[in-house]
Amino acid sequence: MGKTREIKRRIKAVGNIRRITKTMQMIATAKFSASQSRAVASKPYTKALFALVGELTEGLGDVSHPLLTTTTSGRELTLILTSDRGLCGPYNSSLLRTAMQFFRANAAAKAGLIDLVGKKGAGALKYNNIPVARHHAQFGDKPTFEAVDALAQDYINRFSSGEISAVKVIYMQFISAGRQRPEVLQLLPFKPATPDGAAPAGDAKAKPQYEFSPSPKELLDDLLPAAVKATLFQCFMDANVSENVARMIAMKAATDNAGKMGKRLTRMYNRARQAQITTELTEIISGAAALA
């Protein structure tokens, strides 16, 4: 009797867990749809800005800009984008593994300043004896452009003044719903990389010639900070949608496993109950035979 009672308790507990994970899966699915729409909507602007800045820098000639110039003064700064909450599968572990590999290969980055977004990366960095200069907790589950703009502007000001020599961002790049990849992106000095699917800068096709009005320096003063901010915002968008899809997949797997365990426990309960009934019938028949 005690065995069947224990199995019933386990069946009830597994059922409760399944309901919780199913609810979390539905919430993550809704958040994933919303965050994917935001990430996809911002990519055309970022790609167009990248292409414009790339074409502009190619036609500059000897004109330079502080945000494009590599400096040796100051320390390198690395920004790591992790999640505030867990239950998102291998999202944080793969991201932090990439960060550790990057720090092992770059002593200057490990000895430099490290900024962290999200609570889940704090424990791993502390365990690896990597001090965190600043922990940004203002972004939450839905980072706004205003908050990212303020952070990017702070990096631009510190880079321009020589306080920091480079800014790199370690984040989870969203490629598709079935594929996300940890990425190390150089934010400053800014490199107008070719967007996805675009021809490389050295492609042997005809390059258009431009006459700039206003001057290229004035255009770069406006476009480069905007490109840096748009790039950092896209990193936050990709990290957010990657976290949501990872949590959705993890909760779906947990729901499926709970369902399988519930069925297995139900079979165990039925067998235990059948054995118990058989034992009781045997005892009754034996007692009746003894009285006869």
- Domains of the chain, by residue range, sit at 26-200+209-248
Among 3-17, 189-203, 273-287, the minimum mean pLDDT is found in 189-203
> What confidence score (pLDDT) does residue 199 get?
41
Listed residue (191, 172, 170) closest to 181, CA to CA = 172
The answer to whether 75 and 113 are in contact (CB under 8 A) is: yes
Residues 6+ apart with CB under 8 A from 33: none
The more confidently predicted of residues 210 and 254 is: 254
Which residue do the tokens 């239950």 mark?
Answer: 87
Please give the CATH topology (third level) of the domain spanning 26-200+209-248: Pyruvate Kinase; Chain: A, domain 1 (3.40.1380)
pLDDT classification of 195: cutoffs 50, 70, 90: very low
Mean pLDDT of the residues in the chain: 85
pLDDT classification of 197: cutoffs 50, 70, 90: very low
pTM for the model: 0.82
Kindly provide the b/e burial profile for residues 71-87, where b requires at least 16 CB atoms within 10 angstroms of the residue's own CB.
eeebebbbbbbbbeeee
The more confidently predicted of residues 194 and 142 is: 142
> What confidence score (pLDDT) does residue 166 get?
92
Among 8-22, 105-119, 189-203, 213-227, the minimum mean pLDDT is found in 189-203
> What integer is the mean pLDDT of 90-118?
93
Listed residue (97, 161, 100, 89) closest to 129, CA to CA = 100
- Give yes or no for residue 264 having a pLDDT over 60: yes
Output DSSP code: residue 82. -
Strands 179-188 and 164-176: antiparallel
Strands 113-117 and 164-176: unpaired
Provide the token pair at 117: 């977004």
Q: Is 62 exposed, middle or buried (0-12, 13-18, 19+ CB in 10 A)?
A: exposed
